[in-house]
């Protein structure tokens, strides 16, 4: 059995509006499901590793094969918890350690 390869994305989340981790996860999941369906959502295997609302940063994990699907979904996201807001990708890495250095 092959080992799953992961990618970690450092995201910039609007910090003026206090979003919970649940709000962020549901907004990302809804956007992915809207554009790629339930199969796309399961292929991405989205997981929020760390979320710091005070700094407006989040680290999320996805499968390496579906990194571009997640990045395009992030670009298409326009609302979080009913409030207008967009998320942008700062960088992508294969390890969490290299993301924390950036």
Sign of torsion, CA 93 95 98 102? Answer: positive
Question: d(Cα 101, Cα 34) in Å, to the nearest integer?
Answer: 33
Domains and CATH numbers, the chain: 6-95 (3.30.70.3250)
The reply to whether the predicted model has a pTM over 0.75 is: yes
For the record, the structure tokens of 31 come out as 């956007």
Lookup: tokens for 41: 């959502």
How many angstroms separate the Cα of 56 from the Cα of each of 10, 13, 14, 60, 87? 10, 5, 6, 13, 10
Of the candidates 47, 59, 46, the residue with the CA atom closest to the CA atom of residue 96: 59
pLDDT 10s digits, 31-71? 999 999 999 999 999 999 999 988 889 999 999 999 999 99
pLDDT tens for each residue of 61-80: 999 999 999 999 999 998 88
């Amino acid at each position: 059995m092959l080992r799953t390869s992961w990618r970690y994305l450092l995201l910039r989340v609007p910090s003026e509006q206090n979003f919970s981790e649940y709000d962020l996860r549901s907004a990302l999941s809804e956007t992915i499901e809207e554009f790629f369906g339930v199969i796309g959502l399961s292929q991405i295997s989205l997981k929020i590793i760390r979320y710091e609302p005070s700094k407006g940063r989040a680290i999320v994990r996805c499968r390496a094969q579906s990194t571009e699907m997640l990045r395009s979904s992030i670009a298409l996201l326009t609302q979080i918890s009913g409030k207008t807001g967009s998320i942008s990708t700062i960088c992508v890495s294969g390890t969490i350690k290299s993301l924390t250095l950036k």
